[in-house]
Structure 1
Amino acid sequence: MNKGHSIMEYETVELDDENGELVIIDQTKLPFKTEILRLKTQQEIWNAIYLLQVRGAPAIGVAAAFGIYLAAKEIGSEDYRAFYKEFQKAKDYLDSARPTAVNLSWALKRMEAVCNRNKDKPVKEIKKALLKEAEEIRDRDVSVCRQMGEYGLSLVKPGDGLLTHCNAGKLAAVRYGTATAPMYLGAERGYGFRIFVDETRPLLQGARLTAFELHESGLEVILICDNMSASVMRSGWVNAVFVGCDRVAANGDTANKIGTSMAALAAKRYGVPFYVCAPTSTIDMEMKTGDDIIIEERPGEEITEMWFKERMAPEGINTYNPSFDVTDNDLITGIVTEYGIAYPPYTESLKKILAESLYGYVPQL
């Protein structure tokens, strides 16, 4: 346990290459305890992703990149075929940790591509190239989140009330976050936002993480239960909703933490703009619609007894606990990316943004 330090002083995900460790904040212990985990084995890293000790699409991608680099580093063979076989085994293992967040497979595919591009080089050089790629994935996350923050900030004005769901903040990325990036940049520039945070049942990422990190950063935060979002929108207290995203389908349907679609429905009813902050790495053009996205289902105990001093549901009760839901594209006002804001029809605007991303740079506003 670390006392006397703000959560903002720690990196969400970092690499200790000298000691061969992936270093993360254990997000399951927040806000009561700030515990830094140092993960050495692939099983430890897999568990950290599955158990949500590290979570959020961007942070998962960075953790996967560093994790597979550490796996590659431990492969002893200097023969490329033998090395690559072990690399693929480790890649497939990490990729199985969480099926919905596309950044996991995206980062692992990028790392695999490094192996393929350098297959004629000594294995020692391939390992160096893998480290460089993992570091680039981390650094890119920071610049991407800041750019999304700039675009998101252009959609609101000083004094606005904002609402967010789950945690798409610094704890879900390396810095700034996705949906919270406009909030952090606005705070730096004196916008004076009032931010409503859904608690986000059943794992309480909004209450434990988003409210915690925004409050630690000095922003005005109002925590509400998930079923209160429609009420605050009806009262006229919310001028825009910003949420994160784990996967975007080609038609603009998005998968995000369970309950996101309910906030989108309420926003549509009360005329509140609903924005999804999604780095281009989360756009999956192979998924034609949200119906194609695999939704992770988690243990029912998260509903019936997790966080409670005593079990709060009858023994033997049936449960259904999907971790994500799909927000239909007609409920989304715009999708904020690092290359600009996509508007309907998304089948056209997302293609255009992905074409921009092929140039390989992040545009500066």
Structure 2
Amino acid sequence: MNEPIKPIYWDSEDDCLVILDQRKLPENVVWLRIKTLDELEDAIIKMAIRGAPLLGVAAAFGVYIGIKDFEGSKEGFNALFENTLKRIASTRPTAVNLFAALGRAQEVVNIVADADLGELKAAIFEMANAILKEEEEKSYSIARNGARLIEFGSKILTHCNTGALAVGGIGTALGVVYQAFKDGKVDMVYVDETRPLLQGARLTAWELSSWGIPHRVIVDSAAASLMMKGDVNYVLVGADRIARNGDVANKIGTLSLAVAAHTFEVPFIVAAPLSSFDLSAADGTRIKIEERDEEEVLTCGGRRIAPKSSKAYNPAFDVTPARFVTAIVTEKGLIEMPDKSKISEHVAKR
């Protein structure tokens, strides 16, 4: 099996953030060199970079990009820093990892508030590198923990993209697939194409192909029929935000999979790092759902597929109630049949 690609890193020689442009896959492997905050915002909004954990990494480095060239008074730095946080926070509203990274940046600045500008910048850069390393390490722990749940001869269905492209390291739900396949447990992976931007068909299939894992791409609406026929042993998905009660916000279409899995008694497993938990959100109704440009639905491959007079509704995410979740896998272990008390106990583990 090939090693997972690293979709984001800091180039110290060119003093910039380098990201894999996921819009160009699978046809072309294109790397973007991000040197300004404007470029970072554009990359996030237009989904050159995506995936909740990876958005947290990008946000952390984005803070550094926003302030690294500043020379002036401490008051001027503070104003620039606050504006940088606001700009990054306004890019995409659902993935909690992005906001967690911004919160850590604020904590760092508060701790070293009396330091000079050079020390402040160094502390923020160190924080960004720490978040990247943490997310990579967490992903391997999630993969190992989740693979223990998978039985030999399994057929797994997954949605959107939750591999190295979304996290760094090995991924979350797709990381579980990777590890379980290495362990000899996976016979087939069914890949939801994941309309409208086809992250499953473009990205997940690309990663599985590079790893040599047998898979089939399916239209999203084929998933329930596969479950009904007994051709799916597990549904594995990631999460962009998990509420305190276990409700899960993830790529649009996840709720449909969860309802189908519940109906046909297929285990529905969520794989996510603790950085994707939002204990300030009591339940899924508190999670803001991003709505994207309707043209993503009305066009495909740059070609209009609906009448010019047609409009579209394009939420990027939906919320799956905790009652449909069999288990959540994190870097700390497993939360079976998640609820508020189980999540609180799990998060408190050391």
TM-score bracket, normalised by the shorter chain, equals over 0.9
Partner deviation per Cα, 1:145-168 (whole Å, 9 max, x = no partner): 111111111111122011100001
Residues 84 and 115 of structure 1 are in contact (CA less than 8 Å); yes or no, is this contact kept in structure 2? Answer: no
Q: 2:8 aligns with which of 5, 13, 27?
A: 13
Instruction: Give, in angstroms, the shift of residue 341 of structure 1.
Output: 1.2
Q: Does the 8 A contact of 1:290 with 1:328 survive in 2?
A: yes
Deviation at 1:344, TM superposition (A): 3.0
Cα-to-partner distance string for 1:171-213 (whole Å, 9 max, x where unaligned): 1011211111111112333334311110000010000000111
Q: How does 1:1-365 map to 2 (within 5 A)?
A: 10-77=5-72, 79-307=73-301, 310-356=303-349, 359=350
* SS of aligned partner of 2:62: helix
CA distance in 1, matches of 2:111, 2:12: 23
> By how many angstroms is 1:108 displaced?
1.2
**Cα displacement (A) at 1:142:** 1.1
Aligned residues of 1:183 and 1:193 also touching (Cα < 8 A): no
- Distance change >3 Å, CA 9–CA 158, structure 1 → 2: closer
Q: In the TM superposition, what whole-angstrom CA distance separates every residue of 1:121-152 from its partner, at most 9, and x where no partner exists? A: 22211211111111110110111111111111
The aligned amino acid for 2:23 is: T
Whole-angstrom distance in 1 between the partners of 2:268 and 2:288: 23
Cα deviation for residue 218 of structure 1 reads 0.4
The CA distance in 2 between the partners of 1:49 and 1:214, in whole Å, is 24
Q: Any unmatched runs of 5+ in structure 1?
A: 1-5, 360-365
Number of aligned residue pairs: give it. Answer: 350
- Deviation of 1:345 after TM superposition, in Å, equals 4.7
Residue 81 of structure 1: how far off its partner (Å): 2.9
CA shift at 1:9, angstroms?
Answer: 6.4
* More moved, 111-120 vs 16-25: 16-25
For residues 239-295 of structure 1, give each alpha carbon's deviation from its aligned partner in whole angstroms, at most 9, with x where no partner exists: 111100000011111100000000111100110000111211111111111111111
- Three-state SS of the structure 2 residue aligned to 1:193 is strand
Secondary structure of residue in 2 paired with 1:255: strand
Q: Helix, strand or coil: the match of 1:212?
A: helix
Shift of 1:314: 0.8
Q: Aligned with 1:185: secondary structure? A: helix
TM-score normalized with structure 1 length: 0.93
Query: What code does the residue aligned with 1:144 have?
Result: K
Q: Residues of 2 paired with 1:226 and 1:344: CA distance?
A: 25
Q: Which amino acid aligns with 1:323?
A: A
Q: Hey, what's the Cα distance between the residues in 2 that align with 1:231 and 1:216? A: 28
**For the residues of structure 2 that align with 1:221 and 1:342, how far apart are their CA atoms?**
28
* 2:241–2:249 Cα contact (<8 Å) kept: yes
SS in 1 for 2:230: coil
Name the SS of the counterpart of 1:83 in structure 2. Answer: helix
AA at the equivalent of 2:256: M
Q: Deviations over 1:97-133 (max 9, x none)?
A: 0000111111111112111101122221121111111
**Percent of residue pairs bearing the same amino acid type:** 41
Q: Distance in 1 between matches of 2:339 and 2:71?
A: 47
Across the aligned residues of Structure 1 and Structure 2, the Cα RMSD in angstroms comes to 1.5
Contact 2:191-2:201 at 8 Å conserved across structures: yes
Q: Is the 8 A contact 1:8 1:213 kept in 2?
A: no
Q: Is contact 1:20-1:70 (8 Å) kept?
A: no
Q: Distance in 2 between matches of 1:17 and 1:234?
A: 52
User: What secondary structure sits across from 2:308 in the alignment?
Assistant: coil
CA contact (8 A) 1:7 1:213 kept: no
Structure 2 residues without counterparts, runs of 5 or longer: none
